Copies of this chain bind each other. A is one copy, B any other.
Amino acid sequence: MSDYFTKSLELHKKLAGKIETHVKTEITSKEDLATVYSPWVAEPCREIAKNKNTVYDYTIKWNTVAVISDGSAVLGLWNIGAEAALPVMEWKCALFKNFSGLNAFPIVLDTQDTEEIIRTIKNIAPVFGWINLEDISAPRCFEIEERLKAELDIPVFHDDQHGTAIVCLAGLINSLKIVGKRKEDIKVVVNWVWAAGVAITKLLLKFWVKNIVVVDSSWTIYKWRDWLNPVKEMLTDLTNTTCILNPNWDGCIKGGLAEAVKWTDVFIGVSAPWVLTSQMVESMNQDSIVFAMANPTPEIMPDDAYKAGAKIVATGRSDYPNQINNVLVFPGIFKWALARRVNNITDDMKISAAEALANAVENPSPEKIIPWPFEDGIADLVAASIK
Can you list the 4 inter-chain pairs with the closest CB atoms, starting with the nearest?
A39-B296, A17-B60, A8-B40, A34-B318
- Mark out the residues of chain A between 290 and 332 whose CB falls within 8 Å of any chain B CB in the assembled complex: 295-297, 316-319, 325, 327
B296→A83 contact, CB < 8 A = no
Which of A87-95, A167-175, A356-364 is the contact stretch? A87-95
Q: Give the A interface residue count (CB, 8 A).
A: 103
Known contacts: A75-B38, A97-B23, A295-B39. The answer to whether A57 contacts B16 by CB under 8 A is yes
Contacts of A35 in B (CB 8 A): 4, 7-8, 11
A37→B95 contact, CB < 8 A = yes
B18→A25 contact, CB < 8 A = yes
> Which B-chain residue is minimally distant from A14 (CB atoms)?
B25
A59→B90 contact, CB < 8 A = yes
Q: Is the interface of A mostly helix, strand, loop or mixed?
A: helix
- Confirm or deny: A365 has a beta carbon within 8 angstroms of a beta carbon on chain B: no
CA distance A25 to B126 in the complex (A): 29
- Confirm or deny: A179 has a beta carbon within 8 angstroms of a beta carbon on chain B: no
- Confirm or deny: A234 has a beta carbon within 8 angstroms of a beta carbon on chain B: no
A44→B8 contact, CB < 8 A = yes
A182-202 CB mask vs B (1 if < 8 Å, else 0) is: 000000000000000000000
A22→B97 contact, CB < 8 A = yes
B8→A17 contact, CB < 8 A = no
